[in-house]
Amino acid sequence: MFGGADLATDLWYAGVWVSNVDFGDSADLEYDLYAGFTPTVGAVSLDLGLLYYGYTDAPSGADYDYVELQAAASVPAGPATLGAAVFYSPDSYGGGDHSLYYEVNG
């Protein structure tokens, strides 16, 4: 079971997404809270966001909850759009060290 809701304006967005989880322990629900800013600079569309991943009823010491920062940019390229994004978390899922990942898309 899952569901979500979003609110958006021309420059800002915020939302929540919720889903059941089964990690084989007492954690039973994931909820994601997110917000961002989406300005355009010339031809470049930006998306600067903050995401929080939370888990209810997680076992003590599991350290599942974490925060992630997002920076993304895209540009029109003829009939397509080209983009890239970087995601960073100072304290990853399960108590892991920081994490950094990126994507390139079209």
Q: CA 86, CA 49: separation in Å to the nearest integer?
A: 11
**pLDDT one-digit tens code per residue, 48-60:** 999 999 999 999 8
Q: Give yes or no for a contact between 36 and 15, defined as CB atoms under 8 angstroms apart.
A: no
**pLDDT one-digit tens code per residue, 63-95:** 899 999 999 999 999 999 999 999 999 987 766
Q: Give, in degrees to the nearest 5, the angle at Cα 101 between 8 and 77.
A: 60
In this prediction, residue 91 carries a pLDDT of: 84
Euclidean distance between the first and final Cα of the chain, in Å?
A: 31
**pLDDT one-digit tens code per residue, 20-56:** 999 899 999 999 999 999 999 999 999 999 999 999 9
How much is the pTM?
Answer: 0.86
User: Which of 17, 27, 100 is CA-nearest to residue 64?
Assistant: 27
pLDDT exceeds 90 at position 62: no
Q: Where do the H-state alpha helices sit in 36-100?
A: none
